[in-house]
Amino acid sequence: MDADLASLLNASPSGSPRSLVVPAPLVEPERLLRLDLAGDPLFWDGSAWGEHAIAARGFAARWPLSLGAPDREIREALARHELLGAPDAGGPRCYGGFAFHDVPSRGGWAAFGRGALVLPRLGYERHGERAWLRLNLAADEALAGWIPMLHRVRCQLAEEAPTPPPRARILDEAAAAYQGVVASAVAAIERGEFVKLVAARAMQVELQHPDPWATLAALRGPSLVRFALGQGPSIFLGATPERLLTLDDAGVRTEALAGSVAAGPGAEGWLMDSAKDRHEHEVVVETIVNTLRAHRCTVEAPASPAVRRLRHLLHLATPIRARPPSGASALALAAILHPTPAVCGLPQGPAAAWLHAHEQLERGWYAGPFGWFDALGRGTFAVALRSALIHERSALVFAGAGLVRGSTPDGELRETALKARSMLDALGVSP
67 within a domain of the structure (yes/no): yes
* Predicted local confidence at residue 10, as pLDDT: 61
Residues 308 and 353 in one domain: yes
Which of 128, 157, 186 is the endpoint of a domain? 157
Judge if 322 and 181 occupy the same domain. yes
In Å, what is the CA distance from 226 to each residue of 82, 111, 371? 29, 21, 10
Q: For Cα atoms 223, 105, 360, give the angle at the middle one, nearest 5 degrees.
A: 80
What would the pLDDT profile of 68-118 be if each residue is shown by its tens digit?
888 999 999 999 999 888 767 889 999 999 999 988 778 889 999 999 999
Of the residues 157, 182, 212, which one is the last residue of a structural domain? 157
Q: Which residues of the chain have pLDDT under 70?
A: 1-14, 87
Do 347 and 417 lie in one domain? The reply is yes
Domain around 111 = 3-157
Question: What pLDDT score does 6 carry?
Answer: 64
What is the reported pLDDT for 89? Answer: 82
**CATH of residue 329:** 3.60.120.10
> What gap in Å lies between CA 59 and CA 53, rounded to an integer?
17
Residue 163 in any domain: the answer is no
Q: Are residues 144 and 271 in the same domain?
A: no
pLDDT of residue 260: 87
Q: Report yes or no: 404 and 189 within 8 Å, Cβ to Cβ.
A: yes
Q: How far is CA 408 from CA 56, 198, 313, 376, 415, in A?
A: 43, 13, 19, 46, 11
Q: What is the pLDDT of residue 144?
A: 81
Q: Does pTM top 0.85 for this prediction?
A: yes
Position 310 scores a pLDDT of: 83
151 and 190, same domain (yes or no)? no
